[in-house]
Amino acid sequence: MTTLLVIAKEPRPGRVKTRLTPPFTPEQAAALAEASLADTLDVVARTPARRRVLVLEGTPGPWLPPGFEVVRQCAGGLDERLAAAFAGCEGPALLIGMDTPQVTPELLTVDFADCDAYFGPAEDGGFWALGLAEPDPARLRGVPMSTPRTGAAQRARLSGLRVRELPPLRDVDTASDAELVARAAPDGRFAAELTRLAGVSR
């Protein structure tokens, strides 16, 4: 079975989702980040896996469900931190972030029987998921992160592998992203928190 990795930041005001401010305050942005993370971890908890690992910058909180190993993120850029997350795995692994609370267990239930990698593009030009049958940190190191070309650059690193594409998803970066993602997953914590905050601001 596959190891599922979630790379995340502790949802602290001023440290997460800074592009949501404005219109949200840092505290509200952190509340949305916590809801997004909680939804993501809940989905991972409901997905069959050999291991479930939270690769965390910061300290776990009450949002962490049982059944997860917690590994501290290493120092360095995001490419180095992603590479280190894969380096800690034996056998197939699929990594996602905390910014796609609309993800489902069906999307995360992957089978490497006839492929070497999975790639999930994000609508902003990045990627929301990366899976490797044989985790190789060298396929991530040096990829420029947080640019409109990040996804294309990471996809190019999978050259020579049999790659299965996952559907594109939208990351929550801006307030408009938040609205669209909440509509895609209206029953989750993220949508509920966004609705609550909309009521507070009226």
Fold (CATH) for 3-201 = Spore Coat Polysaccharide Biosynthesis Protein SpsA; Chain A (3.90.550)
Helical (H) or strand (E) element with 73: none
DSSP 8-state symbol, 123: T
Domain boundaries, the chain: 3-201
pTM for this model (two decimals): 0.96
Q: In the chain, which ranges are continuous DSSP H helix?
A: 26-45, 78-87, 105-108, 150-156, 175-184, 189-201
For the record, the structure tokens of 111 come out as 């089978």
Q: Is the pLDDT of residue 202 over 90?
A: no
Question: What tens digit of pLDDT does each residue of 40-93 get?
Answer: 999 999 999 999 999 999 999 999 999 999 999 999 999 999 999 999 999 999
